[in-house]
Amino acid sequence: MMMNTIRGAIIAAACCAGVTQGYAQESVNFVSWGGSTQDAQKEAWATPFTGKTGIKVIQDGPTDYGKLKAMVESGNVQWDIVDVEVDFAYRAAKEGLLEPLDFSIIDKSNIDPRFVSDYGIGSFYFSFVLAYNMGKISGQPAGWSALFDTETFPGKRALYKWPSPGVIELALLADGVSESDLYPLDLDRAFKKLDTIKKDIIWWGGGAQSQQLLASGEVSMGQFWNGRMFALQEDGIPVGVSWEQNLVMSDFLVIPKGAKNKDAAMKFLAYSTSAQGQADFAELTAFSPINKESDSMISEDLMAFMPTTYADDQVSLDYKYWAEHGPDIAKSWNEWLLK
């Protein structure tokens, strides 16, 4: 009798285990930059995606290129979807670090062609804009040349500290180089221009830091992500923005080579880049959608704060150029910083 009871308990436990395994919830691991951007990605994409598909989205981060590469090379990939800068996406694809995207699952027919490749698709796009603290300067600076005019517009300048698309280009534009002649980048000319304000530069490495620098008045103006300036304006901070020569940049969503949940990751990319997913994210951030059908879904009041509205003033940064030449530019950049 005791043996039958034990045997029955074992069979019951095994059956329960089988049921549990059979109905284990599918999941994907999503990695981004943290802060308000990842919060918005969770609200606009992850939560409704789980509600629609039942696939759980586990938040992780921040994005770390060295860690992504180490995972792929070791064969122990813990991340399924990673939000990366677009130039890294192109370089990582060339190095064999990414899975090709399945466009039978992901609909790219309405995606702005600037923001899709075989191995990555836009998370959103944004602009580097010239922004200024209206309590620290008089007048309305316009264009990147104003950034270097410390006589008319005194005060410290905020610039993005990483060697990636943006600072080199704005220096060349301010020095009179036309958009059509930006590439190949003339680093010597750019560094010479930056030397004129080097003592006044305060470098920022993240969005929250950039906001603090401008809101506090520690800098009077600088180069900023447009969405971060929108957030300050929404909080009532006296911030002005010049959209002249706004520099278009994008983040890409990629799937690391060997991702354990590749199929679910493809489904997540399909949702996040859909017209609705992109519109919902834009409403939360004022970053522009990469899906061309999203604009009609976005409130008219918000459009005034978005790069989409200022397309005629845009300068598109050459991501592929940076993907190829980025490491060499970084070397020259770091040498210049130390001078």
pLDDT of residue 81: 98
Residue with tokens 């009798």: 1
- Determine what percent of the chain is predicted with pLDDT higher than 70: 93
What is the DSSP code (8-state) at residue 335?
Answer: H
Q: Both tokens of residue 236?
A: 């009532």
Sorted by sequence, the CB contacts under 8 Å of residue 267 that are 6+ apart come out as 49, 53, 55, 105
- The CATH class of the 25-124+251-309 domain is alpha beta
pLDDT in tens, 148-206: 999 999 999 999 999 999 999 999 999 999 999 999 999 999 999 999 999 999 999 88
154 with 137: CB under 8 angstroms?
yes
Q: Specify the higher pLDDT residue, 124 or 17.
A: 124
- Partnered with residue 81 across adjacent β-strands are 30
pLDDT of residue 1: 42
When pLDDT is cut at 50, 70 and 90, the band that residue 282 belongs to is very high
Phi, psi torsion values for 150, nearest 5 degrees: -80, -10
pLDDT in tens, 46-85: 999 999 999 999 999 999 999 999 999 999 999 999 999 9
State which fold the 126-250+312-338 domain adopts: D-Maltodextrin-Binding Protein; domain 2 (3.40.190)
The answer on pLDDT for 297 being more than 90 is yes
pLDDT of residue 24: 62
pLDDT of residue 20: 36
Q: Specify the higher pLDDT residue, 208 or 224.
A: 224
Residues of the chain with CATH 3.40.190.10: 25-124+251-309, 126-250+312-338
pLDDT in tens, 190-220: 999 999 999 999 999 888 899 999 999 999 9
